[in-house]
Amino acid sequence: MSTKDKKAEKHIHELEEQLNKLTAENQDLLDKLQRLGADYANYQKRVPRQVAESVAYEKKNIVRSLLPSLDNFEHALSGFKAAPQDETSQNIIKGVQLIFDHILDALKAVGVEKAVSVGQPFDPSRHEAMLQRTEPDQENGVVLEEFQPCYLLGGEVVRPARVIVNKLPDAAAAEEPQTPDADASEDIDETTDIEPEVQ
């Protein structure tokens, strides 16, 4: 082989090495580009969801902060209606009731609703039992009275209702767990001897 051929072969070998190196770098860059594209696609999906969750969370907090004032408003209206009234008082109460109804309508427009509790079965996700009372003419576990209403936002509980739940005496006895010792003693035959285990 001549020196010219050796130089050409060496040059070809160097070019092949460069080609292999550039091919590897190109593949590495393509892999990085694909990962960046996938990350960006995930980012585009994630951001709107996070924004929606954040907005829903803040909306829920705002509604929750308004509820004590709404409760006080409702209690005041109930108190006014129970008191003796002249024509002027009745007109004032009607005006206040109108304002209260407008507030409820505004809350309803953003997805807030007041849940019905009285007469419904007790649901721990919507009700907080404050007391139990026995009303024989009502079903066991039914909400009898509501101290504070349950409010929902988009179907999710913002605040549970505080309620009185019906507890029938028969239901209490039926729900009482029997002690395992009492059941076990009934199953044991007194004439059977139990021999100790020999080791």
Contact of 58 with 74, CB cutoff 8 Å: no
Q: Where are the alpha helices (DSSP H) in 83-115?
A: 87-109
CA neighbor of 157 nearest in space, from 125, 117, 130: 125
Residue the block writes with tokens 């969801």:
49
10-residue mean pLDDT profile of the chain (199 residues): values are 82 90 93 93 92 92 93 89 85 90 93 94 96 92 95 94 91 48 44 45
3-state SS class at 121: strand
CA distance 126 to 116: 10
The predicted pLDDT at position 106 comes to 93
3-state SS class at 120: coil
> In this structure, what token pair is assigned to residue 102?
């407008």
Range list of β-strands (E), the chain:
112-115, 127-133, 143-148, 150-153, 156-159, 161-166
> In this structure, what token pair is assigned to residue 15?
């070019």
CA distance 19 to 30: 16
Contact of 70 with 96, CB cutoff 8 Å: no
Domain boundaries, the chain: 112-177
Backbone dihedral region for residue 141 (phi beyond 0: left; psi -120 to 50: alpha; all else: beta): left
The predicted pLDDT at position 170 comes to 66
Tell me the residue type at 157: V
The predicted pLDDT at position 186 comes to 44
Q: What is this structure's pTM?
A: 0.63
Fold of 112-177: Nucleotide Exchange Factor Grpe; Chain A, domain 2 (2.30.22)
